[in-house]
Amino acid sequence: MFVRQLLAFSSVSLLILQSLSGQNASPTPPVERSNPWPAAAASPAQPQITFNSVHVDGHYIALTFDDGPHKTLTPKLLDLLAAHHMKATFFVVGQCVVDNPDILKRAVREGHEIANHSWSHPNLGKMSDEAARREVQKTDDAIFAAIGKRPTLMRPPYGSITARQKRWLHDDFGYRIIIWDVDPLDWKRPGPSVVTSRILKETHAGSIVLAHDIHPPTLEAMPATFDQLDRKGFKSVTVTELLAMATPEPPKPKASPRPAAIPAASPGAIYVPPVTTSTPGG
């Protein structure tokens, strides 16, 4: 009897101690679980603003001509483009637009693109934002007055522009900034054959080719240039059309590891390869 009472008392005491211990213990922290869904990006990726070439499927390029329109040379260039069924983009200077609006109208009728190249061809990268804006706005207005449509592309003279200027040109005007990857330096007038040779050597699918329709030797170079681009299978489209064709560049293949060199054996010696052990299942 005494033994049973002692066991019962011990059991009750143990229960009381466990209860008190549970009340005094700190709570167990929750287990952190990894989120199976990736967190949403804080903000969408910024769109690309500046282009000097694009990756395309097919032999498409963009021929571009700066500093016009020229009263006599640009119409001759339009004749050549029509004969070869090629499209081009003209980055025009506002002062020339005011003097030759009918040439712009013809270019648009024939499927070419008109883009902004400033009012007086200054170095925008060395100007204040206010002065640069005036250059761009005056040309934008002149183009609209000539063809009834505002441009969507802009090329800074000399390719000179600041990152801040690129941003407000895109945000305020909706412009994409077009540079180039093929430059024959035709403005130095190296001779028609040199201009042709440089363009053919540097042009590849997705290229944006720079030239100027205000230099007579450049116009002399274009018949041979167009003929040989045709033979190579290139098709010239407007810059906007080329950008619309852009496709992601395929990842570059990783270089395979080079095999270990076998040490040269001394004359008369027999090379014995090292013994390797394989792991189970390997």
Rounded CA-CA distance 6/8 in Å is 6
The yes-or-no answer on residue 66 being catalytic is yes
| Cα three-residue angle 192-198-199, rounded to 5 degrees | 90
Looking at this protein, which amino acid is placed at residue 37?
Answer: W
Give CA angle at 257 (252, 259), nearest 5°.
145
Place of tokens 């329109």: 69
212 is catalytic: yes
Active-site residue (options: 112, 212, 213, 215) = 212
Hunting for tokens 């540097």 — which residue is that?
Answer: 202
Residues facing residue 62 across a β-bridge: 208
Measure the CA–CA gap between 236 and 152, rounded to whole angstroms. 19
**Which listed residue (66, 67, 140, 186) is catalytic?**
66
Largest Cα–Cα separation, the chain: 128
CA 124 vs. chain centroid, Å, equals 21
Look-up: residue for tokens 């100027």?
212
DSSP 8-state symbol, 180: -
Cβ neighbour number for residue 27 with a 10 Å cutoff: 5
Is residue 163 left, alpha or beta, with left meaning phi > 0 and alpha meaning psi from -120 to 50? Answer: alpha
Residue 177's φ and ψ, nearest 5 degrees, are -95, 120
Active site residue ranges: 66, 212
